[in-house]
Amino acid sequence: MPIEVDWCDYDVVVVGSGGAGSHAAQAAAATGARVLVVSKDPIGASDTKISEGLATVRESGSDDDSEEILSENLKMAGGDLPLNAITDAFAADSKEAYDIYRRQGLRPEIDDERDIPKPLPLPMGGHTRRRSVGHRNSGIAFGHANWNMIVQGEGIDYLEDSWFLDLVTDQAEAGTDKSVVGGIIYHAALGRLIAVKTSSVVIASGGLSTLYFPKTDTMRGNTGDSYAIAARAGADLVDMEQVQFLPFCLASPPSYEGLLVGEPVTASYLGVLRDKNGKVILDGVFLRTRADCSSAIMRAVEDGRGSPNGGAYLDMTANKRPPRSGPYFMRFVESALPSAYKVARQAMSKAAGNCEEPWEVRPSAHYMMGGIRADEHGASVAGDGDGSAGAGLAGLFTAGQAMGGVFGANRLGSTSLTEGAVFGRRAGEAAAHLARKSATRDTREEAFTPMIENIRRRFGQKGDSAAAVLKLELQKAAWINIGPVRTADRIAEMERVLSDLDAKLDDVAVPGYAEWNQAFIEFEELRNLIASARGVCLASRERDGSLGGHVRMDGKQISAFSKPYSTVVSHSPGGGWRVRRVNRDRTPLKQIIAFKIQDAKRKAAVKWLRMLPAGMQDRALEKKYLAVMGAGGTAKEVMPGGADAAVGEATQA
Amino acid sequence: MKVEIVTRRDGEQEIVAYDYVPRDDSEKPMILDVLLQAQANGMPDLAFRYGCRARNCGVCTVDINGRPRIACRARIKEGDRISPMATLPALSDLVVRRDGVARQMRGRLATAGQGNDLNVSAPDDYHALTGCIECYACLHECPMHARNFDGGLPDEQAVEDRPDPAEGYTSGNPFSLLKLQRIRIDPLTSEAGKSSALDNAIDLGLDACVGCKGCKCGVGIDLIGKVIWPMLEAAGDRLAEKG
């Protein structure tokens, strides 16, 4: 018997239940819209929940912070790829959006004197102000807030264990462009398909880092669903070559491979990166962006000077050694990124955990900076330049990692949790607004039929391939060919692998039963990974120099002074995949130069610190730590639980 | 290393032997390492949940020899049997249906009446509770949760007697109590909000905690000291009246 279909209709459908999805759902429901949240993982079990739990809160560190400065930081870090309207929106909404989290129970530590959440003692790389607020229990605390929003949410229905497979589009009347009329969902726990009619879908289902598994520190569910679903429905994707690789992740032991152990800021005043010969390959690490650090490591690896597991060494021993400032450094490392440091201590030797030995680190895929091309309300856009919503796919909205155009070529630390809240809310409101306008429209069930029939045919498909095994093949090839290091040849090789895999999709065996059919799930996720990887390949080919997240070994570094452009990838059933460039506005020269001078000054100041005789250096550092951390040097307890108490660690073999 | 994996397809249960090949001599694999290798090596359709591999997301809990463990951070040894969490209804292989727990909290999480000043620090006990990753290890041997299944386990129940998870379970568990206790100690919750949280705990079956030998948290939160006792203390007289 073919898998059965249930029908329903909603004003707004939100795909994803992480930071962006929950904020979108709540914002849409607050306007009176009837909202359905569709999540393949349990509610709230997203990248937000497993993150370091750092949020950008404008003005939290100093009164001289402003919307203009924050917006400029984002745009400059992103190599002028982010849209002005989008970075301005981020800067304008960042405090308010964060307060929504607080209304749901997120409780930061408060700086009583300034009556504002207390940020980390140092600005994170690329931020010119201290404004990254850390939280006890890291992202888990955000996860609770998101969970509450959806589970409690008035006007919000939700489905978990449910895969949103594809958007359904149709012409409102003959001769007009297609717009969103609904979607098809596989409810694995019930073993049924659900056809949902709606005029407004917010795609907030995360990124594609699983393409690089296990060289990633993110959730398994990041199988590129957002991009594949949008592209198949005809929407533009932007900056798809810009995968962010976090520099300081583990290369071993196997159970910990890929997990995050630190950020540039972790390296503190004296941390440096070294190659296998002990030569410094990057200094002033704590002032560098993630992209700078990843690039330095991968260039050393390509040059044959990498560590045994294909990385480099993060050497923080100089911070630890001085008798006066050393203890402050340790408290800083423990409290700045508690869950990353917890991983470091568990996975590496005791000496490494105490920063008395360098850490072997290797970049991991962490975040997709490109994504669905959208405006500052998360609405799908197309056309030249910044694009227009009129030309985009009507009814498609996006937020969070699914959305492109926010971070461009480099995302600064602590910005993604804020991004999810800011654009989740905006997309939810815009989607509800459109739903009100489209309320009277009739939806033809025939528009859903071809897709439903296609899906039904997959159940019981005979074949000799297993999607889970093909996925491993894809992941291996993706790291080598479209990972942190790329060349035109490697990209071409990847495209060959993708064509091979595409051809094998019809040979994947899928049993016929409906309830939680893992083979069908693996098939759908593989299909999405392949489509997303296509986007990465095309955009990487178009971007023929090094910029941001990855190094082009066969191209030049793209200068901040050159004319910036973004890549736009799209797919049409008749015409296949295509890529083109759209121009971006360059930050005025005066501003770039001022930023560069300021940056050089900060780096020089640290260089000077490293040259001081040991005693003087120690006292100077002590003073610096005291100034930023206070005499108490708040060392937060690493939570949750100790090894003894935890069920996980209690079962030593 | 030989282990057993309990699989389930279309309602049919089977115990499959799997021989794990260590990746180096010194490797002491986690449960998840075994599942990932099995999937890559001969069991491509093996269904199991996992997410972050770092004990943060809470979705990969399975039973090892009948006790719940977080698969990504619990070691496995020769002869161990991996089965789905027995406290929730099994779907496929190691995947259980989780949503009956979350849905019971619908309408019980109201935090209305909060003050306007958000700049208030929360006490340490509050943060101890937001460390919960929702792994559901605490459902193990919980008499309150067992009430949903006539005092036993979901799969022991006749099909027609099973509660519909989509409706939300009527009896609670340590996780749902933790969610309510968090509301009670949030400095921004109004008095009315605190008292409604306690009402909800009693409604979910807080009386089952009286005389219970106690629950164990998957990530080491002191459930008895920080959730159960404070609630029992506050509800004392009302529970006594209830009998």
Q: What one-character-per-residue DSSP string does A357-423 give?
A: SPEEEEEEEEEE--EE-B-TT-BB-BSSTT-BTTTS-BTEEE-GGGB-SSSTT-PPTTHHHHHHHHH
Q: What is the pLDDT at residue A255?
A: 92
Least CB–CB distance from A140: residue in B56, B106, B217: B56
Single-letter amino acid code for the residue at A264: P
| Regions of chain A short of the pLDDT cut 70 | 440, 630-653
What DSSP designation does A637 have?
A: P
- What pLDDT, on a 0 to 100 scale, did the predictor assign at position B214? 86
Given an 8 Å threshold on Cβ–Cβ distance, is B103 in contact with A651?
no
Q: What integer pLDDT is reported at residue A643 of this predicted model?
A: 30
CB B47 within 8 A of CB B39: no
Q: State the Cα–Cα distance between residues A197 and A194, nearest whole angstrom.
A: 10
CATH superfamily of domain region B2-96: Beta-grasp domain (3.10.20.30)
Interior/surface letters A131-166, b for 16+ CB within 10 angstroms, e for the rest: bbbbbbbbbbbbbbbbbbbbbbbebbbbbbbbbbbb
- pLDDT of A549 reads 78
Residue with structure tokens 């398994």?
A220
Probe site for chain B from A518, A520, A521 (most B CB atoms < 10 A) = A518
Q: Which residues of B158-194 are buried (b: 16+ CB within 10 A; e: fewer)?
A: eeeeebebeebbebbbbbbbbbbbbbbbbebbeeebb
Fold category of B99-242 in CATH: Fumarate Reductase Iron-sulfur Protein; Chain B, domain 2 (1.10.1060)
Say yes or no to pLDDT of B6 above 50.
yes
Question: What per-residue confidence (pLDDT) applies to A582?
Answer: 97
Q: Which of A6, A135, A62, A5 is nearest to A455 (CA)?
A: A5
CA atoms of A121 and A110, how far apart (whole Å): 13
* Count of residues making up chain A: 653
Contact A640 B132 (CB under 8 A): yes
CA dist., res. B135 & res. B145, Å (int): 15
Contacting residues of A for B219, CB less than 8 Å apart: 640-641, 646-648
Which ranges constitute the DSSP H helices of A188-262? 225-232
Residues A464-494 pLDDT 10s: 999 999 999 999 999 999 999 999 999 999 9
Q: Is the dihedral of CA A353, A356, A362, A366 positive or negative?
A: positive
Q: What dotted CATH number matches A245-366?
A: 3.90.700.10
- Reported confidence tier of residue B159, pLDDT bands at 50, 70, 90: confident
- pLDDT, tens digit, for every residue of B47-75? 999 999 999 999 999 999 999 999 999 99
Q: Pinpoint the residues of chain A covered by CATH 3.50.50.60.
A: 10-242+369-449
> How many residues does this entry show for chain B?
243
C-beta separation of A126 from A412 below 8 A: yes
Structure ipTM over 0.90, yes or no: yes
Angle at A108 between CA A107 and CA A109, to 5 degrees: 125
Q: How many other C-beta atoms are found inside a 10 Å radius of the C-beta of residue A525?
A: 23
Rounded distance between C-alpha atoms, residue B143 and residue B89, angstroms: 16
CA-CA distance, A139 to A135, in Å (whole number)?
Answer: 8
- Report the DSSP pairing between strands A243-250 and A55-56: unpaired
DSSP characters over A484-496: SEE-HHHHHHHHH
- Virtual torsion, Cα A552, A553, A556, A562, nearest 10 deg: 10
Q: What angle do CA A12, A3, B8 make, to 5 degrees?
A: 105
Listed residue (B213, B46, B185) closest to A466, CA to CA: B46
Q: What is the pLDDT of residue A639?
A: 29
Contact residues on chain A for B40, CB-CB shorter than 8 A:
468-469, 472
* pLDDT at residue B240, rounded to an integer: 80
Q: At what angle do helices A138-152 and A338-347 cross, to 10 degrees?
A: 120
Cβ <8 Å between B219 and A511: no
Question: Which residue in B has a C-alpha nearest to residue A145's C-alpha?
Answer: B130
Q: What average pLDDT does the structure give for chain A?
A: 92
CB contact under 8 A, B56 and A50: yes
Token reading at A353: 């955990």
| CATH 3.90.700.10 in chain A, residue ranges | 245-366
Whether a cis peptide bond, with omega within 30° of 0, leads into A214 is yes
**Record: contact A147-B103, CB cut-off 8 A:** no
- Phi, psi angle pair for B102, to nearest 5°: -60, -40
Q: How close is the nearest chain B Cα to the Cα of A437, in Å?
A: 30
Determine the 3-state secondary structure of A607 from DSSP.
helix
Q: Which CATH number fits domain A10-242+369-449: 3.20.20.100, 3.50.50.60, 3.40.50.10710, 3.90.220.20?
A: 3.50.50.60
The DSSP letter of residue A478 is H
How many angstroms separate the most distant Cα atoms in chain A? 80
Q: Which two tokens stand for residue B45?
A: 């359709």
Q: Do A647 and B10 lie within an 8 Å CB cutoff? A: no
- Quick one: which of A40, A370, A93, A97 has its CA closest to A219? A40
The domain segmentation of chain B, as residue ranges, is 2-96, 99-242
Write down the residue that tokens 């709230």 correspond to.
A44
Task: Compute the distance between CA of residue B155 and CA of residue A284 in angstroms, rounded to an integer.
Answer: 58
- Please compute Rg for chain A using Cα positions: 24
- 3-class DSSP assignment, residue A47: coil
Residue B112's pLDDT band, with cuts at 50, 70 and 90, is: low
Residues of A in contact with B73 (CB under 8 A): 646, 648-649
A145 vs A22: CA distance, rounded Å: 9
The Cα of B175 is separated from the nearest Cα of chain A by a number of Å equal to: 12
For residue B242, give how far its alpha carbon lies from the nearest alpha carbon of chain A (Å): 28
Give chain B as a DSSP string.
Answer: -EEEEEEEETTEEEEEEEE---SSTT---BHHHHHHHHHHTT-TT-------SSS-S---EEEETTEEEEGGGSB--TT-EEE--TTS-EEETTEE--HHHHHTTTTS---TT--S----PPPHHHHHHTT-----GGGTT-HHHHGGGTTS-GGGS-GGG---GGG--SS--HHHHHHHHHHHH-TTS-HHHHHHHHHHHHHTTGGGGTT------TT---HIIIIIHHHHHHHHHHHHHH-
Nearest CB to A641 within list B106, B111, B219: B219
Quick one: pLDDT at residue B115?
60
